[in-house]
Amino acid sequence: MTGDASARRERRGGGVAPPVTLLTPVTYLKGVGPRRADLLARLGITTAGDLLMHVPRRYEDATTVLPVARAQPGQDVTVLGRVISKGIIPTRRGLRIFQAVIQDASGLLEVGWPGQPHLDRTINIGDVLLLSGPVRIFHGRQLAPREFVNLGADDAGTAGGRVLAVYPATDGLPTKLLRQLVDAQLDALLPQITDPLPVNILQAAGVPALPDALRLVHRPSSVKDAERGRARRAFEELFCVQLLHRRANQLERSARDGITFVNRRKFTTALKSQLPFTLTAAQVRVLREIVVDMTSPLRMHRLLQGDVGSGKTIVALFAAMVALENDWQAALMAPTELLAEQHLRTFTRLLAPLGITPALFTGRMSAAERRAIATRLASYEPLLVVGTHALVQDATSFGRLGLVIVDEQHRFGVEQRKALQAKGATPDVLLMSATPIPRSLALTIYGDLDVSMLDEKPPGRIPIVTTMRAESARDRVMTFVNAQLDAGRQAYVVYPVIEESERSDLRAATQMAEELSGGVFASRRVGLLHGRLKSDEKDAVMRAFLARDIEVLVATTVIEVGIDVPNASVMLIEHPERFGLSQLHQLRGRVGRGADDSYCILLGDVSPESAERLDVFVSTEDGFAIARADMRMRGMGDLFGERQSGLPSFLVADPLRDEALIPVARAAAEQVLQSDPTLARPEHQALRELLTGRYRRALELFRVG
Ligand code: ADP
Ligand code: MG
């Protein structure tokens, strides 16, 4: 046996590990056995490359820690110290507290974790902990950590001078371990990474290239560094989504030419001249945007955003007039029969002097009535029809549908909106939304639409008096409501759920309607409206309210949209903490529609956190500000609901926080697509692969040939 052969055997036997690549399975990494590999897989990490993309959730800045001797009760502090003793202390009430004493150069501090005796297993004497949380008095000073990072026994030297990355962790795989795993591979892996985004795009956006960004993210020397790294990844997500949106928009426009309407100024001028008010500057601007779209040969695909009461309906009517004066049909779809009827009344009144009679099309009409309208729609007669989803459900066909308008578009599913559009060959489309969000965010959420903003309300609106009242003020509140009813006004009382559930103490609408009509409103006509009623039952109740046959309408949020009952002056909302701010804003928009004062009262005892949140609503009537606050607190998905399918979801980007990056991402996407619409050029190959690998939709959008 020669020495040569034994050396070879040793090499093959694993004495020297092969170089780690991005695709190396984590099981091959030092320190990862089968158990840890399983845990890593749970975090979505199976390769070394995945590990690199597992980015910290947040950072602890060990450069700004407070000497423990200076931590005072009542303060919220971040401290760094070594564990010198520890133990589990039982309390009389059966709670077990894990306690440790930490030491730094300035002295000692006790730390207590009530109810977490298991920490005894992971925190050892000698470990250095970075902790933050409030200091309280508990047999002396004690820190109650809100969060902490165990830096381990030998990390003290490095921790003092840098920022610590806190990774999304899982049981058995603490952040400390993840940090070690990433750190051990970082230098070998980063040089293997090439940035899929073109250099000029990165430069224009002012973000670092991917390898630099990942180094900043995993091994930052300051929190600001880490943020620069994060911004690179956020930008990538926003850029990709804009690429998809803009490409979809491009295809949609070029696939089918639209109708080229002519701005004849026949009906529109006549309508303007006999409006009972002058249009706001915002309405004029938005109308111009719509007319430009309609008179261009491309299809309009536009979203009109405007706060409650900003006057979207009249804008829609002008657009319909442009269609009609070109001998095309226009259809407006509303989410409820009541709202459709309301629009029809408005339109009928405003169009009478022009000799135009709009038509109604809802499920509530008799079959014969519907058939009569359907016959006219199937002909070439230029007609404005206002209806519900009956417009798409029935076997209706349009002879010359040129314009589709969808009111309160978030109330419809994507399919319903598409189905109405499909009733015409290439109709222009105007969607209307009452949850106004900043333009840049709208471009992210509704990326393949053009967006118009109605950011001004008609003059002379009386502010709605909004207040928050504690449970103890209930009697006084009810007395106030009764006084309003005495004055001939009407009131809404809104509850978050329909029926009392055993688990909660919510004052359900059904039960409360009974209680109120037997109690404080015994002498009043009380009605009940909730989502489980059939739509004709709902409409009957709303009609009775409109006719003042009902004075107090107890309801769930079904009354949220569009309804205009000017005589209603009180919106009383129970359990306000159960509602999103935008939802509350929609509810409040149901009052303040007449000439007199109106009131929105939030009633009930709420937690201090809820009170703080609700304060945003109480203190402003600006729907943009409210939507923004709502998004910040609840996230976009919640705000726009399940129905807005196609809502982009982001891992890193936060459209609110990264708002400034959105226009940059959009401009960059447009620039790339202008020169290379299918991303076929070699310099875009990596980008193409990124898109098609990550977004299913990209496969069809960027199909070549
Ligand atoms: P929304 O944007 O919530 O759909 P509407 O279109 O229902 O709002 O308009 C709310 C009210 O404001 C309606 O009564 C409408 O007639 C009125 N309105 C609309 N535009 C103006 C204007 N320029 N000046 C005065 N009142 C207006
Ligand atoms: Mg409306």
Domain with residue 70: its CATH number is: 2.40.50.140
Closest CA to 553 of 521, 505, 506: 521
User: Is residue 150 domain-shared with residue 89, that is, in the same domain?
Assistant: yes
332 or 392, higher pLDDT: 332
**Residue with CA nearest ligand 1 atom 15:** 311
User: Is residue 495 domain-shared with residue 615, that is, in the same domain?
Assistant: yes
Whose atoms come closest to the Cα of 588: which ligand?
1
User: Is residue 471 domain-shared with residue 567, that is, in the same domain?
Assistant: yes
Q: Is 361's pLDDT higher than 50?
A: yes
Query: What is the 311 CA–ligand 1 centroid distance (Å)?
Result: 3
Q: Tell me the residue type at 17.
A: A
Quick check: is 421 in a domain? Answer: yes
pLDDT reported for residue 157: 46
Quick check: is 407 in a domain? Answer: yes
- For residue 177, what pLDDT band results from cuts at 50, 70 and 90? confident
User: Is residue 405 domain-shared with residue 316, that is, in the same domain?
Assistant: yes
What are φ and ψ of residue 431, in 5° steps? -105, 140
Quick check: is 142 in a domain? Answer: yes
Quick check: is 303 in a domain? Answer: no
Q: Ligand 1, residue 306: give the atom nearest the CA.
A: 2
- Tell me what the mean pLDDT of segment 482-505 comes to: 80
Query: What is the 581 CA–ligand 2 centroid distance (Å)?
Result: 18
pLDDT tens per residue, range 619-658:
999 988 898 888 777 666 555 544 344 556 677 888 888 8
pLDDT tens per residue, range 69-113:
999 988 888 888 999 999 998 877 778 899 999 998 899 999 999
619 or 157, higher pLDDT: 619
User: Is residue 383 domain-shared with residue 522, that is, in the same domain?
Assistant: no
User: Is residue 489 domain-shared with residue 524, that is, in the same domain?
Assistant: yes
**Residue with CA nearest ligand 1 atom 26:** 458
Query: What is the 434 CA–ligand 1 centroid distance (Å)?
Result: 13
- For residue 10, what pLDDT band results from cuts at 50, 70 and 90? very low
Pairing of strands 141-143, 107-114: parallel
**Residue with CA nearest ligand 1 atom 17:** 311
User: Is residue 405 domain-shared with residue 537, that is, in the same domain?
Assistant: no
pLDDT tens per residue, range 400-452:
999 999 998 878 877 888 889 889 888 999 999 887 887 777 877 777 788 89
User: Is residue 379 domain-shared with residue 485, that is, in the same domain?
Assistant: no
pLDDT reported for residue 165: 81
Mapped to the 3 state alphabet, what secondary structure does 487-502 carry? CCCEEEEECCCCCCCC
Quick check: is 542 in a domain? Answer: yes
**Does the model's pTM come out above 0.85?**
no
Quick check: is 278 in a domain? Answer: yes
DSSP-derived 3-state class of residue 332: strand
Burial of 389 (0-12, 13-18, 19+ CB in 10 A): buried
Q: Could you tell me the residue range of the domain that residue 30 belongs to?
A: 1-56+181-189
Quick check: is 156 in a domain? Answer: yes
Quick check: is 705 in a domain? Answer: no
Query: What is the 563 CA–ligand 2 centroid distance (Å)?
Result: 8
Total structural domains within the chain: 4
User: Is residue 359 domain-shared with residue 370, that is, in the same domain?
Assistant: yes
Those residues with Cβ within 8 angstroms of residue 182's Cβ, 6 or more apart along the chain or in another chain: 51, 52, 54, 165, 167, 218
User: Is residue 476 domain-shared with residue 576, that is, in the same domain?
Assistant: yes
Cβ atoms of residues 259 and 426 within 8 Å: yes
567 or 140, higher pLDDT: 567
Q: What protein residues have CB closer than 5 angstroms to ion ligand 2?
A: 562
Task: Read off the tokens for 506.
Answer: 């919510």
* Region of poorest pLDDT, from 361-365, 395-399, 466-470, 635-639: 635-639
Closest CA to 61 of 161, 158, 165, 163: 163
Q: Point out the domain boundary residue: 166, 198, 217.
A: 166
**Residue with CA nearest ligand 1 atom 24:** 458
CATH at 590: 3.40.50.300
User: Is residue 352 domain-shared with residue 474, that is, in the same domain?
Assistant: no
Query: What is the 280 CA–ligand 1 centroid distance (Å)?
Result: 10
Q: Point out the domain boundary residue: 121, 154, 189.
A: 189
pLDDT tens per residue, range 256-306:
678 899 999 999 999 999 899 999 999 999 999 999 999 998 889 899 999
Task: Read off the tokens for 204.
Answer: 């224009």
Q: Point out the domain boundary residue: 138, 157, 189.
A: 189
pLDDT reported for residue 393: 78
| Residues in the ligand 1 pocket, defined by CB under 6 Å | 277, 279-280, 283, 306, 308-314, 434, 458
Q: Is 158's pLDDT higher than 70?
A: no
Our mutation pick for probing the ligand 1 site, out of 274, 277, 315, 339, counting the most ligand atoms within 8 A of Cβ, is: 277
User: Is residue 519 domain-shared with residue 609, that is, in the same domain?
Assistant: yes
Query: What is the 352 CA–ligand 2 centroid distance (Å)?
Result: 21
